[in-house]
């Protein structure tokens, strides 16, 4: 895997596209994943998660190929954007062909797009397209993918996502053996790089995530599965 040359690296505006300056002020961000929301009341669920302290909304996109499940596409993202236009939408593409979905999700109001390192040999062209559309860019690794799959691209991206479950479903158990990868990424990361943990994060696992350098916590069932979203978000943030 070749490292990007200096002139390939476009200066990042920071995580969160047009929301970057607002989000930069928060040391640990919490991203409610709407995958566990009640889809029949999605607008209300998004407003409730934001009112309870959620910093951004995590939008899980699954294609039935990269992961054994289907979830939501650009139309749902656009509806969420209309419902909560002041929320930064963090789109997590769990798809084998992320190139096909950059523009559709940009049009649907995404502020950020993450795609998986497992599906692209050279992520630089996609990172550049995401940045050119005014969004921040992230690269993700599954639990069985080593951290060094991300190392060549840490200067180019705004976010590194370490999956702590095998992607496809909310409500799975946290895989603690990914924590050393998070620390290894933090040790090599430039200041300002967000490191996101996604999968099975709950109040009992969130402290270890933060101690290993994670500063963006995604949670679906640990928020939308609870009665009190605000206390759930507060305990994840620490």
- Do the beta carbons of residue 48 and residue 42 sit within 8 Å? no
Applying the rule CB under 5 A, the residues between 35 and 74 that interact with Zn ion are: 60
Our CB check for ligand DX5 shows the closer of 104 and 143 to be 143
134 interacts with ligand DX5 by CB under 6 A: no
Our CB check for ligand DX5 shows the closer of 10 and 69 to be 69
C-beta of 10: minimal distance to ligand DX5 in Å? 26
Measured between alpha carbons, how far is 44 from 38 in angstroms, rounded to an integer? 9
142 interacts with ligand DX5 by CB under 6 A: no
Residue 172: name the closest of 204, 215, 237, 219 by CA: 219
C-beta of 3: minimal distance to ligand DX5 in Å? 27
Measured between alpha carbons, how far is 112 from 234 in angstroms, rounded to an integer? 23
Q: Which of 55, 90, 158, 198 is catalytic?
A: 198
C-beta of 200: minimal distance to Zn ion in Å? 11
C-beta of 117: minimal distance to ligand DX5 in Å? 15
Residue 86 among the catalytic residues? no
Residue 63 among the catalytic residues? no
User: Which letter, b or e, does each residue of 203-228 get, where b requires 16 or more Cβ atoms within 10 Å of its Cβ?
Assistant: eebbebbbebbbbbbbbbbbbbebee
**Which does residue 194 bind out of ligand DX5, Zn ion, none, counting CB within 5 to 8 angstroms by kind?**
none
**Which does residue 219 bind out of Zn ion, ligand DX5, none, counting CB within 5 to 8 angstroms by kind?**
ligand DX5
DSSP 70: B
Ramachandran category for residue 213: left, alpha or beta (phi over 0 → left; psi -120 to 50 → alpha): left
Active site residues: 60, 198
């Amino acid at each position: 895997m070749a490292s990007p040359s200096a002139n390939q690296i476009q200066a990042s505006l920071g995580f969160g596209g047009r929301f970057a300056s607002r989000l930069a002020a928060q040391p640990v961000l919490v991203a409610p994943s709407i995958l566990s929301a009640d889809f029949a009341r999605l607008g209300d669920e998004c407003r409730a998660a934001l009112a309870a302290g959620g910093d951004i909304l995590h939008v899980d996109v699954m294609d039935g190929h990269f992961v054994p499940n289907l979830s939501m596409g650009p139309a749902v993202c656009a509806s969420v954007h209309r419902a909560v236009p002041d929320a930064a939408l963090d789109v997590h593409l769990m798809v084998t062909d992320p190139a096909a979905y950059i523009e559709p999700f940009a049009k649907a109001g995404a502020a950020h797009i993450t795609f998986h390192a497992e599906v692209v040999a050279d992520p630089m062209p996609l990172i550049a397209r995401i940045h050119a559309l005014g969004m921040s860019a992230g690269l993700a690794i599954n639990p069985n993918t080593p951290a060094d799959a991300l190392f060549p691209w840490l200067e180019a991206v705004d976010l590194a996502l370490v999956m702590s479950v095998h992607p496809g479903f909310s409500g799975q158990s946290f895989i603690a053996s990914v924590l050393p990868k998070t620390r290894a990424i933090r040790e090599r990361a430039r200041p300002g790089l967000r490191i996101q943990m996604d999968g099975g994060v709950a109040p009992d696992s969130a402290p270890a995530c933060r101690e290993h350098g994670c500063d963006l916590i995604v949670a679906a069932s640990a928020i939308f599965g609870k009665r009190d979203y605000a206390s759930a978000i507060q305990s994840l943030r620490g």
